[in-house]
Amino acid sequence: MATPPKRPSPPRRPPFSPRATTVFRVSLVAGGLGLASAGYATWQYYHSPYWNRIGFAPGQPVLFSHRHHAGELRLDCRNCHSTVESSAFAGMPSTHTCLACHSQIFTDTAMLQPVVASGASDQPLAWTRVTALPDHVYFNHSIHLAKGVGCTTCHGDVGNLALMAKTQPLTMRWCVDCHRDPGPRLQPREELFSPHPPPARRSPAEAAALLATYGVHREHLTNCSTCHR
């Protein structure tokens, strides 16, 4: 008896349609790009002036203008920050310091009334800190000045700031970059308290001369214990 011919098997259908495969591939690419974009945006945010609060000028009890006092009148920084050369803390101006000048001038202006009231009540002015480092970081103003780091290195062009604002990120990377190569950022003694930064970074020869003048030894500046005690 003749064997009946075999019927051809029906073609196997793929588990997914071509459209579904295309959608899946596009979704994979879009998801990868989305993750990469989110990572890049996060990195940019945490390295941005906004996150580091650069340009941030908090409110103060008195509208004190560094541009007027330090830039135009050329008052020395140490008139108000009297302990900057002798201690870790630079010091903030007392009411007596302000009234040494303003007991005679501008006493009837609204801007100066907080100072007058502070003197009358014997209550100190509550200044708001502009630049603050974390509690686990040790920073000493006096040693930095003694080694040639001027005020404007960390505080910027103070002589042009109507309101004191943060001008540098003061991150660990920013500090370590300076500790690794401090020479170009050092200033001669006569310029340490200048309200304006130098016009340009020091040349290698000038940097080497300043390192020798101040006796700066770079090999110890990046030790952890230098800033974390």
pLDDT of 219: 87
Give the burial string for 47-60 (b: 16+ CB within 10 Å, else e). Answer: eeeeebbeeeeeee
Q: What percentage of the chain reaches a pLDDT higher than 70?
A: 93
Mean pLDDT, to the nearest integer, of 153-168?
94
What sections of 128-180 are H helices per DSSP?
A: 141-146, 151-155, 172-180
Q: What average pLDDT score do residues 144-157 get?
A: 96
Q: How many Å apart are CA 228 and CA 223, to the nearest integer?
A: 9
Given pLDDT bands bounded at 50, 70 and 90, which one contains residue 3?
low
209 membership: H or E segment, kind and range: helix 204-214
In this predicted structure, which of 69-78, 105-114, 118-127, 179-188 has the lowest mean pLDDT? Answer: 105-114
Average pLDDT over residues 71-84: 95
Which pTM does this prediction carry?
0.79
Under the banding of pLDDT at 50, 70 and 90, the label for residue 221 is very high
Query: In residues, how long is the chain?
Result: 229
Confidence of residue 77 (pLDDT cuts 50, 70, 90): very high
Cα four-point dihedral sign 27, 33, 34, 36: positive
Place of tokens 């502009």: 130
Q: What are the pLDDT digits (tens) for 87-112?
A: 999 999 999 999 998 888 888 889 89
pLDDT digits (tens, 9 = 90+) for 166-209: 999 999 999 999 999 999 999 999 999 999 999 888 899 999 99
60-66 mean pLDDT: 93
Q: What is the structure's pLDDT at 4?
A: 66
51 vs 1, higher pLDDT: 51
Please provide the DSSP assignment of 118-140 as one string.
HHHHT----PPPSS---TT----
The number of angstroms, rounded, from the C-alpha of 146 to the middle of its chain's C-alpha atoms is 22
What is the distance between the terminal CA atoms of the chain, rounded to a whole angstrom? 100
Residue 76 pLDDT more than 90? yes
Taking the domains of the chain in order of start, what are their residue ranges? 132-227
What's the confidence (pLDDT) of residue 36?
Answer: 92
Judged on CB neighbours under 10 Å (0-12, 13-18, 19+), 26 is exposed
pLDDT at 50: 77
